[in-house]
């Protein structure tokens, strides 16, 4: 069995793609068995070799102490009996699945595939990709036959960036494979690092679909709350107070309105929509939810401008500070962050925009936004504060501290609080014009 080869040290496990998903996975396996971490980005590998984890998922100490072998040499994959592919699967500009990376990774793996190897995909894909697209690429590149000479498997990643409670080890792991023997091998291999339940899905397609739907379901629920928030603004009703009242019922779902970004919830529904349409069904609810959630950045920006006008501010060249650019709190991940769109919309009104984000890597920003980045300590003489992300550095700011960040004049202090971090009544009593989703 594959697990025996790995435990005896005769073979290695390889993780292809060392990002937010692949790095923590490779580090975890390296504590148990010989493990190779492969990535084509040599600059990234040098960062890891210096003991630095820019994702902050595993931490610098874990990277410094690991026995993991970092390599950009694909020939190293020939030593592996178990290969995990964890490369990005984004969407194109027209919201179509982009399988470029997973196809390229499959080709590289195939060129160095050896008989008896199991190739397991963790990249998020629509149902059928592993069987219909990845396996044939592996066969063509290797000259081997899937099911006879090698096996394929699928195990959807469930890494939640920035979450210190739900970690790789304690999240239920879904596994699937082309046959029962391979499924047992896959379950045993992941069992080396997963402490939670390992759920054996009956087919590759079920496992692929499960990942899409768990995120599409969240997308739909958040879209409903975003629609509710926009409607309540027209009704002059405080959405936050409505949610607090609603959540007193035992079966309330506790979703809140907000910006939907990141590499999962804002992407996975499009993979589901694509494959459903290709199969002959139009997914009305999922598609409508995407439209609602994708429009929220513009809604926040235009609402900010409206509040500025209400405060009798001259929009042109007003000093506006956008606080938070990552897609979620306490995390450096900027993938598909809707805060970027807020910045772009505000700049169309020619405001004097500054940006604060203590978590972000400036190199991840386009030049036009990087030049606007300032430390929180330098925020002063502002007309408007727009809190787009609930970083702990922001949520800890006292109302009196917030007051000191504005110009010293008699005008209303416009504060846009996308996540509802602050107490409306406390701020309004201090002369703020407060707006929240």
Q: List the CATH number of the domain containing 248.
A: 1.10.1040.10
> Range of 112's domain?
2-205
CA neighbours closer than 13 Å in the CB half-sphere of residue 372: 23
Instruction: Say yes or no: 32 and 110 in one domain.
Output: yes
First to last CA, the chain: 54
Please say which residue of 168, 188, 205 terminates a domain.
Answer: 205
Q: Which residues are part of the catalytic machinery?
A: 264
Please say which residue of 293, 319, 341 terminates a domain.
Answer: 293
Q: Collect all residues with Cβ–Cβ distance below 8 Å to 53 and sequence separation of at least 6.
A: 23, 59, 60, 62, 63
Q: What is the pLDDT of residues 359-393, one digit of tens each?
A: 998 988 888 899 999 999 999 999 999 999 999 99
Instruction: Say yes or no: 259 and 344 in one domain.
Output: no
Instruction: Say yes or no: 35 and 121 in one domain.
Output: yes
Average pLDDT over residues 192-218: 97
Q: Output the pTM of the full model.
A: 0.93
Instruction: Say yes or no: 82 and 158 in one domain.
Output: yes
Q: 355, 414, 424, 356: which is closest to 384 by C-alpha?
A: 414
Instruction: Say yes or no: 257 and 403 in one domain.
Output: no
Between CA 84 and CA 109 the distance in angstroms is 10
Structure tokens at 148: 């006879």
Instruction: Say yes or no: 225 and 318 in one domain.
Output: no
Q: 335, 323, 285: which is closest to 405 by C-alpha?
A: 323
Q: What is the pLDDT of residues 145-169, one digit of tens each?
A: 999 999 999 999 988 777 677 788 8
Please say which residue of 180, 205, 230 terminates a domain.
Answer: 205
Instruction: Say yes or no: 219 and 305 in one domain.
Output: no
Instruction: Say yes or no: 247 and 375 in one domain.
Output: no
- Examine the pLDDT at 77 and tell me if it is beyond 90: yes
Q: List the CATH number of the domain containing 352.
A: 3.40.50.720
Domain count, the chain: 3
Instruction: Say yes or no: 193 and 282 in one domain.
Output: no
Instruction: Say yes or no: 234 and 357 in one domain.
Output: no
Between CA 125 and CA 71 the distance in angstroms is 26
- Examine the pLDDT at 245 and tell me if it is beyond 80: yes
Instruction: Say yes or no: 171 and 246 in one domain.
Output: no
């Amino acid at each position: 069995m594959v697990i025996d080869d790995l435990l005896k040290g005769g073979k290695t496990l390889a993780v292809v793609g060392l990002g937010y998903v692949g790095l923590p996975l490779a580090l975890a396996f390296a504590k148990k068995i010989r493990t190779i971490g492969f990535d084509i980005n040599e600059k990234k590998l040098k960062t890891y070799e210096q003991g630095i984890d820019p994702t902050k998922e595993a931490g610098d100490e874990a990277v410094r102490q690991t026995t993991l072998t970092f390599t950009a040499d694909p020939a190293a994959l020939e030593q592996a009996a178990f290969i995990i592919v964890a490369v990005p699967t984004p969407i194109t500009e027209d919201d179509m699945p982009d399988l470029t990376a997973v196809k390229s990774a499959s080709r590289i793996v195939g060129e160095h595939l050896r008989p008896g190897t199991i190739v397991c995909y963790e990249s998020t894909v629509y149902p059928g990709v592993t069987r219909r697209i990845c396996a044939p690429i592996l066969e063509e590149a290797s000259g081997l036959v899937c099911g006879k000479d090698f096996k394929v498997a699928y195990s959807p990643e469930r890494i939640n960036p920035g979450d210190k409670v739900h970690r790789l080890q304690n999240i239920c792991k879904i596994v699937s494979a082309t046959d029962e023997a391979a499924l047992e091998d896959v379950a045993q291999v992941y069992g080396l690092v997963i402490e939670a339940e390992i759920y054996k899905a009956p087919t590759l397609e079920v496992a692929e679909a499960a990942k899409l739907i768990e995120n599409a379901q969240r997308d739909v629920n958040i879209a409903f709350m975003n629609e509710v928030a926009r409607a309540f603004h027209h009704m002059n009703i405080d959405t936050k107070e409505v949610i607090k009242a609603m959540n007193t019922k035992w079966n309330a779902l506790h979703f809140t309105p907000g910006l939907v970004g990141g590499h999962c919830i804002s992407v996975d529904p499009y993979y589901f929509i694509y494959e459903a349409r290709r199969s002959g069904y139009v997914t009305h609810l999922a598609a409508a939810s995407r439209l609602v959630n994708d429009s929220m950045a513009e809604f926040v920006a235009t609402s900010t401008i409206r509040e500025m006008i209400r405060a009798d501010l001259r929009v042109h060249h007003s000093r506006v500070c956008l606080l938070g650019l990552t897609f979620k709190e306490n995390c450096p991940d900027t993938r598909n962050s809707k805060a970027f769109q807020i910045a772009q919309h505000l700049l169309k009104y020619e405001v004097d925009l500054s940006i604060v984000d203590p978590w972000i890597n400036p190199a991840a920003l386009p030049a036009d936004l990087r030049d606007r980045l300032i430390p929180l300590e330098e925020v002063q003489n502002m007309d408007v504060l727009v809190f787009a992300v609930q970083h702990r550095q922001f949520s800890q700011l006292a109302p009196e501290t917030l007051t000191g960040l504005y110009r010293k004049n008699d005008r209303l202090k416009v504060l846009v609080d996308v996540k509802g971090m602050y107490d409306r009544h406390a701020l309004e009593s201090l002369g703020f014009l407060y707006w929240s989703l």
